[in-house]
């Protein structure tokens, strides 16, 4: 049976527990930790129900998965076990097993897991930190390229119209959004779609992280101490990990193009991007912004988002296009070097 997944990984139509307040004692019953000393929500929001729990002898992080079904939770934990053996220069989340050896359990609220606490801070989007994050992501992608076939991660390669099953065809969306001031940009969607599709046979394809934002990085002493959140790990164009991170680390939120170039240099020094990958970066940034628009439009058609939500994504798409017109050529030029294949 073919299962259709949301962008965050939940099978579409799966019952959400977001409005249910979980009982922590029920969630933790399989671990038999005893009464916690202190419980707190993370300082910043997450896409799951997460609590930082101080026990008598240690601190742990409790996660209720609200985006993955049980099969994909098992897959994420198998991936974490694989990466733990790759001798990476930073940590990845380490599940704390139950007494009978399980790294996650089924609860009334969904799958739950407990992870060891990793000390450190969330980085700021400054050049030195961005370079180190790019380097760390490069090391991660080198490791992920060796993912064994037995793990069979999710395949994220798709056309724009398939971004959300409720979106329908792109022409209908463009007609509905006509007159919002972005008609010329919307007319470019077929070309953006075709450019990304053509790349699938021209650039390296492998397992990538897919969600490298600042909130998924822990730094300590100026170095990357850990990379977090492997929910979206799956098969896609390798360079999409870098372009996704450019968006999620705030590199496109400023006209200081040095943010983006320092991140890409750090990533490239480890991975060794091809010339085709580098010249494709502007096209893939457009594709990512367009995908966000199509995703929100699909939710809108299903009554899960408002038209204003869709317009916000359209405006963001326009902002990405404006940034690329100002800085795209310089960004590509800064990464190209003689002798690159």
Can you give the pLDDT at residue 340? 62
The segments of the chain whose pLDDT lies below 50 read 1-17
Can you give the pLDDT at residue 11? 36
Residue ranges of the domains in the chain? Answer: 24-116, 127-335
Q: What is the dotted CATH code of the domain comprising 127-335?
A: 3.90.1200.10
Can you give the pLDDT at residue 3? 30
* Helix (H), strand (E), coil (C) string for the chain: CCCCECCCCCECCCCCCCCCCCCHHHHCCCCCCCCCCEEECCCCCCCCEEEEEECCCCEEEEEECCCCCHHHHHHHHHHHHHHHCCCCCCECCCECCCCCCCCCEEECCEEEEEEECCCCECCCCCHHHHHHHHHHHHHHHHHHCCCCHHHCCEECCCCHHHCCCCCCCHHHHHHHCCCCCCHHHHHCHHHHHHHHHHHCCCCCEEEECCCCCHHHEEEECCEEEEECCCCCCEEEECHHHHHHHHHHCCCCCCCCCHHHHHHHHHHHHHHCCCHHHHHCHHHHHHHHHHHHHHHHHHHHHCCCCCHHHHHHHHHHHHHHHHHHHHHHHHHHHHHCCCCCC
Can you give the pLDDT at residue 338? 64
Can you give the pLDDT at residue 68? 84
Domain 24-116 classified CATH 3.30.200.20? yes
Can you give the pLDDT at residue 303? 92
Can you give the pLDDT at residue 339? 60
Can you give the pLDDT at residue 10? 39
């Amino acid at each position: 049976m073919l299962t259709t997944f949301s962008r965050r990984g939940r099978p579409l139509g799966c019952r959400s527990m977001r409005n249910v307040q979980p009982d922590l004692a029920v969630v933790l019953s399989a671990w038999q930790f005893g009464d916690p000393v202190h419980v707190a929500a993370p300082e910043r929001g997450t896409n799951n129900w997460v609590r930082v729990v101080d026990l008598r002898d240690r601190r742990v992080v409790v996660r209720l998965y609200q985006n993955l079904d049980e099969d994909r939770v098992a897959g994420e934990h198998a991936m974490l076990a694989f990466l733990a053996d790759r001798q990476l220069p930073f940590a990845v989340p380490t599940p704390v097993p139950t007494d009978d050896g399980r790294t996650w359990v089924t609860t009334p609220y969904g799958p739950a897991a407990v992870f060891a606490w990793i000390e450190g801070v969330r980085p700021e989007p400054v050049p030195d930190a961005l370079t180190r994050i790019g380097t760390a992501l490069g090391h991660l992608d080198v490791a992920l390229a060796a993912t064994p076939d037995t793990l069979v991660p999710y395949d994220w390669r798709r056309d724009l119209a398939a971004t959300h099953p409720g979106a329908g065809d792109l022409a209908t969306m463009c007609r509905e959004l006509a007159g919002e001031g972005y008609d010329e940009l919307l007319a470019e969607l077929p070309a953006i779609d075709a450019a990304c599709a053509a790349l699938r046979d021209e650039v390296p394809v492998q397992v990538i992280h897919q969600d490298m934002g600042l909130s998924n990085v822990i730094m300590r002493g100026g170095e990357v101490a850990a990379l977090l959140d492997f929910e979206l790990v799956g098969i896609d164009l390798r360079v999409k990990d870098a372009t996704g991170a450019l968006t999620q680390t705030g590199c496109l939120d400023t006209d200081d193009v040095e943010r983006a170039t320092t991140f890409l240099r750090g990533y490239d020094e480890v991975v060794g991007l091809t010339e085709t990958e580098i010249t494709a970066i502007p096209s893939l940034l457009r594709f990512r912004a367009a995908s966000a628009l199509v995703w929100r439009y699909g939710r809108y058609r299903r009554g899960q988002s408002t038209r204003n939500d869709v317009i916000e994504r359209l405006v963001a798409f326009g902002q990405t296009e404006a940034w690329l017109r100002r800085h795209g050529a310089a960004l590509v030029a800064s990464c190209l070097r003689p002798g690159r294949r």
